[in-house]
Amino acid sequence: MIGYIVLGLAFTTLLFILPLIAQHGLSEAEMESATSSYYLGKNGILNGDLVDLPYRVLQKFSIMIFGLSAYVIKLPSILIGLLLGFLLILLLNRWFKSNVSLLASCLIVLSTPFLFLAGSGTPLIMLVFWPTFLLWIGSKIQGEKRPKPLYSFVFAIVLLLSIFTPYMAYFAIFCILFVLSQPHLRFIVKELPKLPLCLISLVVIAGFVVLGISIYNHPGTIMELLFAKDFQLDNFFGNITTGLAPLFSWHNSLESVFLAPLISLPTFILALIGLFSTTKGFFASRNSIATLLLVFCLVITGFNPNAIIFSILPFSILIAHGIKYLLEKWYGLFPENPYARISALIPLTILFAIIIIPSLLQYIYGYRYNPNVANEFSYNLEVIKKNLNDETLLVKDGHYNFYKILEESTDLKVVDQLNKEERVAILGSSEELEKYKLSQIITSPMRDNSDIIYLYTYSDNVEGE
């Protein structure tokens, strides 16, 4: 209990503080997510704009309440990441002993990929959140002799909400096939009360009907939910190669939002040990689920390279298996010697320290100072809010709708065409403007392309400009 309390406090504190220290810039995907979320309206929802709807609604309210800032854009992911972390802890605690689940939870929720996911203001986190939630609810149903109908109902609601996230329709099919292939799970389903099963079926059918109507009104929705906007079958294996690159690269030279390696070498070795240990009794549901989830991860990575982040979930289970295997082997050497069991705490403490501490440092300093990763994040919004007050901001780089949101919470006027203004700030380029004089260049802390804003002042005395 003390261990879980300490882990929970450390995890919660880090989750809310680290985005301010590390990746406080915005990636292209985060800006697009914030724009689509803010301009999400009732008409869009009624007309079938349902992709990533739960996340976008939460992000929209976050921006409306607190204004536009990098931290506010990331806030929904921080909150969902907090819930996801506790769901992972609960899931591992259902399947493993407390000592194993505690150690495995420490490695996962304090790892670089998990902290990145919880600090990224995009719906990508939902790709891990929904399956984790479904597996935990499923474990509650499986582990009870007479499961409560409420668990089944919650499972149906979560499954319904999840199908509006890309690739989760595949996961729903995966869950159905997995249950049908496992005799024990088939028996549990047969023993469930009939009324909850009927309600679950109605809820799921209703969800698929709504999804079908959305696809009928917006045929492009099917591409977003099942594949990707610009997906081509010829790129399937190339996407897998691109997605796996951060997983097996150990030199941080990739131009990607993911720090390489995605999984540290000691953690990866633990996962391999766990994979080896599951070969015995593979057809037990707990042993086979991680391997099948890895296969599922490879499939969706073929559609979108960023979907490799889903590997957090199967790696969590495999790491727990690896820790369980190591502890059992150690305790098997000294079955009756309490001093040997206690002495195992020393190498375990050292092992986990050299895994967790470097991972935290990699996250904090990698996203700030690694040029290949840092260049994927923009500091424009932070610099604009810090240096501009009531000027006119001219935006020509395709992010006009994003910066237009600033008018709701600041005195800035955002335009995409220049009129006669007293003070004009041009984002990202230096131009010769008639009757305007360049008065200031505002820069960011970036090494390259640090000149973000060119500030001009109107003057009738300027000739030839």
Each residue's pLDDT tens digit, 419-442: 777 788 887 766 667 777 888 888
Q: Which residue has the tokens 């047969």?
A: 190
Each residue's pLDDT tens digit, 369-381: 888 788 888 888 8
Distance in angstroms (rounded) separating the CA atoms of residues 320 and 209 = 39
* pLDDT tops 90 at residue 59: yes
Each residue's pLDDT tens digit, 150-209: 777 788 888 888 888 888 888 888 877 777 777 766 777 676 667 766 777 777 777 777
Q: How far is CA 343 from CA 334, 336, 337, 349, in A?
A: 11, 13, 10, 10
Report the range of poorest mean pLDDT among 91-105, 191-205, 225-239, 306-320: 191-205
Over residues 44-51, mean pLDDT:
69
Buried b (16+ CB within 10 A) or exposed e, 85-104: bbbbbebbbbbbeeebbbbb
* pLDDT tops 70 at residue 282: no
Tell me, what's the pLDDT at 265?
Answer: 84
Over residues 403-407, mean pLDDT:
88
* pLDDT tops 90 at residue 400: no
Over residues 56-68, mean pLDDT:
91
Residues in contact with 276: Cβ distance below 8 Å, sequence separation at least 6, in sequence order = 325
- Can you tell me whether residue 155 is helix, strand or coil? helix
Tell me, what's the pLDDT at 285?
Answer: 60
Highest mean pLDDT: which of 11-15, 33-37, 183-187? 33-37
Distance in angstroms (rounded) separating the CA atoms of residues 161 and 158 = 5
pLDDT band at 464 (very low <50, low <70, confident <90, very high): very low
The rounded mean pLDDT for the chain is 81
Over residues 393-414, mean pLDDT:
84
Highest mean pLDDT: which of 149-153, 284-288, 297-301? 297-301
Tell me, what's the pLDDT at 55?
Answer: 92
* pLDDT tops 90 at residue 454: no
Question: Do residues 394 and 425 lie in contact, with contact meaning Cβ atoms separated by under 8 Å?
Answer: yes
Q: Where are the beta strands (DSSP E) in 4-106?
A: 26-27
Distance in angstroms (rounded) separating the CA atoms of residues 256 and 377 = 10
Tell me, what's the pLDDT at 190?
Answer: 72
pLDDT band at 126 (very low <50, low <70, confident <90, very high): very high
Distance in angstroms (rounded) separating the CA atoms of residues 264 and 461 = 62
Residues in contact with 254: Cβ distance below 8 Å, sequence separation at least 6, in sequence order = 245, 246, 260, 372
Q: For the chain, report the end-to-end CA distance as a whole number of angstroms.
A: 70
Q: Which of 348, 349, 350, 331 is nearest to 340 (CA)?
A: 331
